[in-house]
Amino acid sequence: MAVITVQTQPYLDQKPGTSGLRKKVPHFQQANYAENFIQAIFDAQSGFEGKTLVVGGDGRYHNRHVIGLCIRMAAANGVGRVIVGKGGILSTPAASNLIRKSGAFGGIILSASHNPGGPTEDFGIKFNIANGGPAPEKVTEAMYGKTRTIARYLIEDAAAPDLDVIGKAQCGAMAVDIVDPVLLYADLMEELFDFPAIRALFASGFRMRFDAMSAVTGPYAHEILERRLGAAAGTVINGTPLEDFGHHHPDPNLVHAKALYDEMMGANAPDFGAASDGDGDRNLIIGKGIFITPSDSLAMLAANAHLAPGYAQGLAGIARSMPTSGAADRVAEKLGIGLHETPTGWKFFGNLLDAGMATICGEESAGTGSSHVREKDGLWAVLLWLNILAVRRDSMKAIAAAHWQTYGRNYYARHDYEAIDTDAANTLMAHLRDRMATLPGETVHGLTIAAADDFEYLDPVDGSLSKNQGVRILFAGGSRAVFRLSGTGTSGATLRVYMERYEPASGNLALEVADALGPIIAAANDLAEVAARTGRTAPDVIT
C-alpha cells in the first residue's frame, strides 16, 4: 500500500462554529470538501505521529463514508492507531471518555448533534483534543487557516476496514481497533452512580420512559437502563439509531419530543421521563406532570449531587453558560463553592474542569455534564437524576418544590427564531449593540433598564478573552433579556432570545412561566424590533 497525494483547492466556507463544521450533506459531498477539512485538522496539529486517534459519530447519513476517509487519511498522515466504534457509532460523551481512557492525542467526531439527518439534511465534523473536550478557539482558528491555503491532502491507497467487525485490523501501516461503543462508557457510569439503589428503585415499581429519538443513545440506554439497571423492557423507545433519525428532528425539547411530554402529562404517566439528542450530549428531563427546565435541572443536580457515590466528596465548583439562568448561582453560594459564567460552548468549560475549578457544568440548551468527561452528557444527567430519585424516594414535583422553597425560582424561557435571513439577524444584533449605551434608565413595558452590555469572558486559566458573546439587557430587580445568534445551525441564522425573572422563596413560586415572563418577553421583542427586522411574529421553538 502507498500514500497518495491528491491535489486540491481551498473552500473558503470551512470556518468551524461552536461545535465544529456543519453543513448540509450535499455540501459535504462536493469534491474534496470533507477531505480538505480532515486534512486541515492534521495540518493544524503537531507531534501526533505514531499516536492514537479516536474516530466515531452519531450514525447519521454520510457517517460511514466519512469515517472511512478519516481512517485512510489518518494512516497517510502518520497516525499510529485509530480506535473506532463498531458501525462507526460513538456518542459524543462516549468518544470523549474513550479519548481520555486511551491516551489519544484527540478525536474526530462526526455529528451535527441535535440537527436533522438524511441525504439532504445536516452533517458535521469536529475535532476534540487530548483532554476529550472540543478544540479551543486557538486550535479551530489554526484549522480554519489551513483550510484557506490547502493545496493537497494525503490518503492511504487502501480500503478502510469493515466497521461492523469488532477486533483489530490494519489500514496501511496503521493499526485500527474496532471496539464496542457502549461497554467502556457504561462501565464509567457504573463507577459514578449507585446502580444497586437505582435497581431497587425500578424493582419497587418505579416506571420510566426514555426516548432515544432514533439516535445514538439507543444502544447505551438499552444496555444501562434495561439490562444493568433492570428497567422494564420497553422503557427505551426509538432505541435503534437510524441514518435519518426516523425522519424526526432529534432535539430533546418540548416541540420535537412532544409525544414524550404528552405522555408525562397524562393520567397514567410514568414517574420519570427523559430524552437525548442525535449525538447523545443533550437531555430532556420531565417528571410526572412537571417539566424541569435545563437551567433548573443543572441547579437541582448540583444541589443533590452528593447523593451519588462519584460526587459524595462534594463539588469543586459549578460552571454555566451566560444565557443559562442564575438558579445554579444560588446553589453555589449556599455550598460555598465557585460559580463560573462562561460563553456558550462546552469548550469554555474544559479549562475549568482541567484546573479543578468546577465539577458540574451546564447550559440552558439542554447540555449538562461533569468532570467525568469533557463534553456534555445526556445519559449522565438522566442517571444522576435516577440516583437522586432512588435515594430521596420523592417525586420530581416534590423535589422541584422543595428546591424552589429553599433557593427561590428563576422563571425562564428561550425563544428561537430559526433559519432567518442572516443579514437581517446580523443587523438586529448590530442595532442592539448600537443602542446599549443609551438604554440604561429607559422604561419598557413597566421595566426599567438598569444596564446593558455585550458579554465578554476572560478565561481564568489561560487568560484568553472572548468578546461579543451576547447582548444582555438587565432590568431593575434582577430580571434580564439576552440576545445571541446560535452557531449550531446550517441554514440562515438562528436568533435566540432568553428571558429570566427571579422570584424569591417568599414569593409566588407557582406562576405559569408565560405569565411570569410576559412583560420581559414584550420588552425584549420591542427593544430588538424582532418582528420588524425578521418578519417573524412568533418564535419557532420555545424552551
Grid look-up 453555589 returns 332
Q: Which residues are catalytic?
A: 113
Phi/psi-derived region of residue 408, left when phi > 0, alpha when psi is between -120 and 50, beta in every other case: left
Helix, strand, coil percentages (3-state) for the chain, rounded to 5, are: 35, 25, 40
Alpha-carbon distance 306 to 16, whole Å? 37
Phi/psi-derived region of residue 202, left when phi > 0, alpha when psi is between -120 and 50, beta in every other case: alpha
State the cell numbers at 543: 424552551
Residues 6+ apart with CB under 8 A from 427: 533
Sign of torsion, CA 8 13 16 19?
negative
State the cell numbers at 289: 406532570
Alpha-carbon distance 83 to 98, whole Å? 9
Per-residue DSSP letter, 526: H
Hey, is 347 helix, strand or coil? helix
Per-residue DSSP letter, 224: I
Beta strands at 457-458 and 360-363: parallel, antiparallel or unpaired: unpaired
Alpha-carbon distance 68 to 74, whole Å? 10
Sign of torsion, CA 244 250 254 255?
negative
Residues 6+ apart with CB under 8 A from 141: none
How far is Cα of residue 71 from the mean position of the Cα atoms in its chain? 25
Contact yes or no for 253/275 (Cβ under 8 A): no
Alpha-carbon distance 75 to 1, whole Å? 11
Checking 272-275 for CB contacts under 8 A at 24+ apart, the result is 272/206, 272/207, 272/208, 272/209, 272/385, 272/386, 272/389, 272/396, 273/208, 273/209, 273/210, 273/211, 274/208, 274/209, 274/210, 274/211, 274/382, 274/385, 275/210, 275/211, 275/212, 275/213
List, as one string, the DSSP characters of 358-427.
-SEEEETTTEEEETTSSS--HHHHHHHHHHHHHHH---HHHHHHHHHHHH-EEEEEEEEEEEE-HHHHHH
